[in-house]
Each structure stands twice: as structure tokens, then as C-alpha cells.
């Protein structure tokens, strides 16, 4: 899958491009992340891409032309890309949405700053608005990285161990509890069943724990 990210802070994406699961997916040629510096599409010598809002008020607004030109450039060799604007006003990013997006070949992510983008971009150039939660953060970059990570994990081969697709939400439940060495720490012991070597019993215990965990922490998921 190819991600094109439109941002004022391309260097932030080294956080996912250089380390961990995403970096490995890039090395395996399963993922490609291109960042586009929006200022390169500015129409003035100061490389500004924002201006004061019509009607007054605090904060600046990102202008139409630089964003539209940047999307146009990306679409030149990638006409079918889906353009997503990261926005607190968008539909909520969930496991199901991440899975749905993972079937696409190409996604373009528009990261807002300041008060966000001129509404005409949302009307004319954006296919979908997606939010990472009901709170406001200072820019779309962290949200874009969350989306890239959540979507990439659903692409076959990106995770070293496909079992990790049994993580929370994959089958509607939260994950079961995990333990590692040593067997006892400060009087706390590992459940005996996990030391039994009886795989069928262990699987049954894990399933029961996942249900119990979900009932305890997320009653809304149990209802679903
Ligand atoms: C300070 S916010 C602008 C908020 C906007 N004025 C509003 O109230 O809807 C700047 C940028 O951060 C990003 N952003 C903020 N919160 C977000 C969220 N919950 N999910 C996704 N992106 C978010 C968006 O790209 C947004 O354009």
C-alpha cells in the first residue's frame, strides 16, 4: 500500500518510517510512505500556505491552492488515490475502518494545522474525513501516523507474526491477558494453566479470559 502524506512537518514521519513494524513493512516493500512538504506548493516567496479567516476570529486557515496543487501532483501518477483529511469532525477510526482501508492500494492523507483547511478543500478534494477520537490535537500528523499504523497492521505480511491479528477488537473482543518469565514476581504468579503445555485447554482459557476482560472493561462491545 502506498501512503502519500501532505504535511508542514514531513520530518515527524521518521518516527514511524525508521523504527518498528512500519519500517519493516517498508523494507519488505509492502508499504511506501511519501511525504509532501505543503510549503513547496506555496504561491508566494515567503512559502506561506495559510491566511487569516474571512469573518475574523483567532487562528489561521490553510489555503485552497497549495493543497489542491499538491493533491493534483500526487494524482498525476496515482489517479485513484483516496484523499483522507484527518479531522476531529470526521468519522471515528475503528478496527473495522482500518481493515476496510487496508484493502485500498493508495491513500493520500492531508494533515491540517492551525484552524484547519479552507472548507472548499473538504467539499471538492477530500473523499473522507477521519478522526482518531473526540478531542482536538494540534495537527493532523500524529493522527495520520496512528491511521498508517492501524491500517498497515491489517496488511498481510506487515506483522512478523500473523497471530497478532488476534489483538483486541479483531474478533469483537478485547485481548486475553499475557504473561512472561519469571513464573513468580513479588508473590504474583502466572496462572497454572499457561504452564500446563495443554494447548487446547490454554486456548479455551484464553477465550474465556477475553470474554471476561471485555465484560469488565468494555460493556459496549459485549452488547454489540
Ligand atoms: C487545532 S486542529 C483544528 C481543529 C478545528 N478547528 C476543529 O475544531 O474542528 C488542527 C488540525 O489537527 C488535526 N486534528 C485535530 N484533532 C484531530 C482528531 N481528533 N483526529 C484527527 N485529526 C485531528 C486536523 O488535521 C486539524 O486540521
155 pLDDT more than 80: yes
Instruction: Answer whether 113 contacts ligand 1 (Cβ < 6 A).
Output: yes
For residues 108 and 101, give the distance between their C-alpha atoms in angstroms, rounded to a whole number.
12
Tell me the pTM.
0.97
Q: Measure Cα distances from 205 to 87, 176, 180, 198, 224 in Å.
A: 40, 9, 16, 11, 22
Residue with CA closest to ligand 1 atom 1: 138
11 pLDDT more than 70: yes
Instruction: Answer whether 86 contacts ligand 1 (Cβ < 6 A).
Output: yes
CB distance 13 to 145 below 8 Å:
yes
161 pLDDT more than 90: no
CA 11 – ligand 1 centroid, Å: 19
Nearest-5° angle of CA 90, CA 95, CA 96? 80
Percent of the chain residues past pLDDT 90, beyond the cut: 95
**Domains of the chain listed by start with CATH number:** 2-152 (3.40.1280.10), 167-223 (1.10.1270.20)
148-166 mean pLDDT: 86
Look at residue 118 in the predicted model and tell me its pLDDT.
98
| Span 23-48, pLDDT tens digits | 999 999 999 999 999 999 999 999 99
CA 139 – ligand 1 centroid, Å: 6
Instruction: Answer whether 189 contacts ligand 1 (Cβ < 6 A).
Output: no
From 24, 47, 88, 149, the catalytic residue: 88
Q: Is 156 a catalytic residue?
A: no
For residues 63 and 17, give the distance between their C-alpha atoms in angstroms, rounded to a whole number.
28
Look at residue 166 in the predicted model and tell me its pLDDT.
79
For residue 147, give every residue at least 6 positions away whose Cβ sits within 8 Å of its Cβ, in sequence order, or none: 84, 86, 93, 98, 101, 109, 130, 132
Residue 127, phi then psi, degrees to nearest 5: -85, -35
From 66, 113, 141, 153, the catalytic residue: 153
Amino acid at each position: 500500500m502506498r501512503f502519500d502524506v501532505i504535511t508542514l512537518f514531513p520530518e515527524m514521519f521518521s518516527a514511524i518510517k525508521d523504527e518498528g513494524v512500519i519500517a519493516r513493512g517498508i523494507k519488505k516493500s509492502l508499504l511506501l510512505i511519501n511525504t509532501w512538504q505543503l510549503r513547496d506548493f506555496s504561491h508566494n516567496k515567503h512559502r506561506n500556505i495559510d491566511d487569516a479567516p474571512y469573518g475574523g476570529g483567532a487562528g489561521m486557515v490553510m489555503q485552497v491552492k497549495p493543497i489542491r496543487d499538491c493533491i493534483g501532483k500526487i494524482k498525476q501518477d496515482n489517479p485513484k488515490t483516496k484523499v483522507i483529511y484527518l479531522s476531529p469532525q470526521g468519522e471515528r477510526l475503528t478496527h473495522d475502518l482500518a481493515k476496510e482501508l487496508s484493502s485500498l492500494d493508495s491513500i493520500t492523507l492531508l494533515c491540517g494545522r492551525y484552524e484547519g483547511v479552507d472548507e472548499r478543500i473538504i467539499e471538492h478534494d477530500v473523499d473522507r474525513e477521519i478522526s482518531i477520537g473526540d478531542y482536538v490535537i494540534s495537527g493532523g500528523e500524529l493522527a495520520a501516523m496512528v491511521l498508517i499504523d492501524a491500517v498497515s497492521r491489517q496488511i498481510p505480511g506487515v506483522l512478523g507474526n500473523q497471530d497478532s491479528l488476534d489483538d483486541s477488537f479483531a474478533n469483537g473482543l478485547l485481548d486475553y491477558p499475557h504473561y512472561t518469565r519469571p513464573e513468580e514476581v513479588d508473590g504474583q504468579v502466572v496462572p497454572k494453566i499457561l504452564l500446563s503445555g495443554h494447548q487446547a485447554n490454554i486456548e479455551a482459557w484464553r477465550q474465556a479470559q477475553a470474554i471476561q476482560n471485555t465484560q469488565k472493561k468494555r460493556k459496549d462491545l459485549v452488547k454489540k
